[in-house]
Amino acid sequence: MTGQVILVVAAALYDAEGRILLAQRPAGKPMAGLWEFPGGKIENGETPERALVRELHEELSIMVDETSLKPITFASHAYPDFHLLMPLFSTESWEGELAPREGQTLAWVRSSDLHLYPAPAADIPLFDVLSGK
């Protein structure tokens, strides 16, 4: 393996119907067009939960209480230039209206339909866990 370990955190946001929010990476970003869970890099000194609260506010304009975040699973994936380590949390509660701030398209997806959305390789095992595969 080459490169460094990148620590990121992601959220499975569930709506009242039990659907999960996916965000499509916008044009101009690496892996543009692929669907993923909202989240992002963990900064130095941040806990994964604190980073996720920050990222969800930056990306989607919502406020999440750290205590509502429940750990589900994690992904550990070797990309050609780096290794990604990504804990996945779930929540069903937040304040504010979802408003994508980074040009991303959003979709509410049933867990059984997650695999219909092309995703980064690191997200596929997370889709497997959430869809019960």
Q: Is pLDDT above 70 for 117? A: yes
Evaluate whether 13 touches 38 at the Cβ level (below 8 Å): yes
Q: Looking up tokens 């009242």, which residue turns up? A: 16
CA distance 19 to 113: 10
> Residue 45 pLDDT more than 90?
yes
Range of the domain at 127: 5-131
DSSP 8-state assignment for residue 50: H
Q: For the chain, what is the domain count?
A: 1
Whole-model pTM: value is 0.92
Q: For residue 2, what pLDDT is reported?
A: 60
How high is the pLDDT of residue 103?
A: 85
Give the contacts of 83 (CB within 8 A, at least 6 positions apart): 1, 3, 4, 5, 6, 76, 77
pLDDT in tens, 1-10: 467 999 999 9
pLDDT for position 1: 46
**Residue 34's domain is classified under what CATH number?**
3.90.79.10
pLDDT tens for 120-129 read 999 999 999 9
Using the predicted structure, report yes or no on whether residue 17 has a pLDDT greater than 70: yes
In the predicted model, what is the mean pLDDT of the chain?
A: 94
